[in-house]
């Protein structure tokens, strides 16, 4: 039996390095291919999909002509404000071509940790799903400050899985999965299955967060820890590789799977 055939609701997190090219431009062909696969999940496989997307700051930097990621909060927030609308326009256009509507939701940590606001967020998401709209979530970077921040979308996506009681979190990254060593520096071996995260943490060289995004392997492992503690699966896949989501759903051994 295919591992994920009983999965109904899936959160797909798309990282900045997947969405952008080497020279920091939105990689529309990659986004288009991911959109096609999500369309396949929804229409052919009858799944419900929620996207958590990064890339607002990177897209904003591109539009504003900033070559280096700024350090100052006001600059990051300005870039996010400019980039978020470009990002949504891109998704909106590509999903419309597939015949699907999208809805934007910008969250901060306090929304998901305040019981009443959490309920409203959940209800909005479930209503979007009911009407076959693809919710596209990002952190509300242009107003989020330290106290109310998730800080990175790996963690945000794991909270979303819990919020909507999804069955699976797929983290699309620019590496093939978790390696025994930092895959961008040394040749480690890929780890296909993780049943005990504590054991994994002792085994690997975690590497450093990327320049364009924030996350890195550490936050992915933290997200996986949270999701698996809620009795759900988490998979890390290389989102730049063709048909990665389809291959996973068809039962091919790709990426790193974390079991509950
Ligand atoms: N929310 C950030 C953005 O859209 C990305 C955070 C992350 O890389 O995890 O640029």
Mean pLDDT value across residues 115-122: 96
Q: Is residue 215 pLDDT above 70, yes or no?
A: no
**pLDDT at 201 (0 to 100):** 81
Q: How far is residue 41's CA from residue 47's CA, in Å, rounded to a whole number?
A: 6
**Predicted local distance difference test score (pLDDT) of residue 3:** 83
Distance 6 CA to ligand 1 centre (A): 30
What is the number of the ligand 1 atom nearest to the C-alpha of 79? 10
Q: Which is more confident, 212 or 149?
A: 149
Is the distance from the beta carbon of residue 55 to the nearest atom of ligand 1 less than 6 Å?
yes
Task: Say what the pLDDT of residue 225 is.
Answer: 96
**Residue 4 located in a structural domain:** no
Q: Is the per-residue pLDDT at 259 higher than 60?
A: yes
What confidence score (pLDDT) does residue 153 get?
95
pLDDT in tens, 125-184: 999 999 999 999 999 999 988 777 887 899 999 999 999 999 999 999 999 999 887 666
Domain containing residue 231: CATH number: 3.40.1160.10
φ, ψ of residue 27 in degrees (nearest 5): -90, 85
Ligand 1 pocket test, candidate residues 59, 88, 138, 172, most atoms within 8 A of CB: 138
CA–CA separation, 243 and 222 (whole Å): 26
Domain assignment present for 234: yes
Question: Quick check: 254 and 237 in contact, CB under 8 A?
Answer: yes
Q: Let me know if residue 129 belongs to a domain.
A: yes
Distance 253 CA to ligand 1 centre (A): 28
pLDDT at 208 over 60: no
Q: 95-109 pLDDT, tens per residue?
A: 999 999 999 999 999
Ligand 1 atom closest to Cα of residue 154: 9
pLDDT above 70 coverage of the chain, percent? 93
Pocket test for ligand 1, best of 57, 90, 145 (most atoms within 8 A of CB): 57
How high is the pLDDT of residue 216? 78
Domain containing residue 213: 9-258
Residue of higher predicted confidence among 205 and 66: 66
Separation between Cα atoms, residue 96 and residue 112, nearest integer Å: 29
- Interval 246-250 mean pLDDT: 96
Structure pTM?
0.94
Q: Give, for 11, the enclosing helix (H) or strand (E).
A: strand 9-14
Amino acid 235: pLDDT: 98
The CA distance from 26 to 124, in Å, is 28
Mean of the per-residue pLDDT values of the chain = 92
Distance from C-alpha of 108 to C-alpha of 112, rounded to nearest angstrom: 7
**Residue 26, SS3?**
strand
CA atoms within a 13 Å half-sphere pointing along the CA-CB vector of 101: 7
Whether residue 254 is predicted with pLDDT greater than 90 in this model: the reply is: yes
First to last CA, the chain: 18
- Domain count within the chain: 1
pLDDT digits (tens, 9 = 90+) for 7-26: 999 999 999 999 999 888 89
27 alpha carbon to ligand 1 midpoint, in Å? 16
> What element of type H or E holds 184?
none
Residue 3 lies in a domain: no
1 part of a folded domain: no
The CB-based long-range contact list for 58-64 (8 Å cut-off, 24+ gap) reads 58/16, 58/19, 58/20, 58/24, 58/26, 58/83, 58/212, 58/213, 59/19, 59/20, 59/26, 59/83, 59/84, 59/86, 59/87, 60/84, 60/86, 61/24, 62/20, 62/24, 62/25, 62/26
């Amino acid at each position: 039996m295919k591992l994920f055939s009983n999965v109904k609701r899936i959160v797909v997190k798309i990282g900045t390095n997947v969405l952008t090219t080497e020279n920091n431009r939105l990689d529309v062909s990659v986004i288009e291919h991911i959109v096609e696969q999500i369309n396949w999940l929804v229409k052919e496989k009858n799944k419900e999909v929620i996207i958590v997307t990064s890339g607002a700051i990177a897209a904003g930097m591109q539009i504003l002509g900033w070559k280096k990621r700024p350090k100052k909060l006001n600059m990051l927030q300005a870039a996010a404000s400019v980039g978020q609308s470009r990002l949504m326009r891109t998704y909106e256009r590509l999903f419309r071509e597939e015949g699907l509507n999208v809805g934007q939701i910008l969250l901060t940590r306090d929304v998901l940790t305040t019981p009443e606001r959490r309920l409203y967020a959940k209800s909005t998401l479930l209503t979007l799903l009911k009407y076959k709209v693809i919710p596209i979530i990002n952190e509300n970077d242009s107003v989020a400050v330290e106290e109310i921040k998730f800080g990175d979308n790996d963690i945000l996506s794991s909270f979303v899985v819990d919020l909507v009681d999804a069955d699976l979190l797929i983290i699309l990254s620019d590496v093939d999965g978790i390696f025994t060593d930092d895959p961008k520096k040394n040749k480690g071996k890929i780890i296909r299955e993780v049943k005990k995260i504590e054991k994994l943490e002792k085994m690997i060289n975690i590497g450093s967060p990327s320049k364009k995004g924030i996350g890195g392997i550490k936050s992915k492992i933290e997200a996986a820890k949270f999701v698996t503690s809620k009795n759900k699966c988490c998979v890390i896949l290389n989102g730049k590789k063709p048909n990665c989501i389809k291959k996973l759903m068809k039962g091919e051994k790709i990426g790193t799977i974390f079991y509950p």
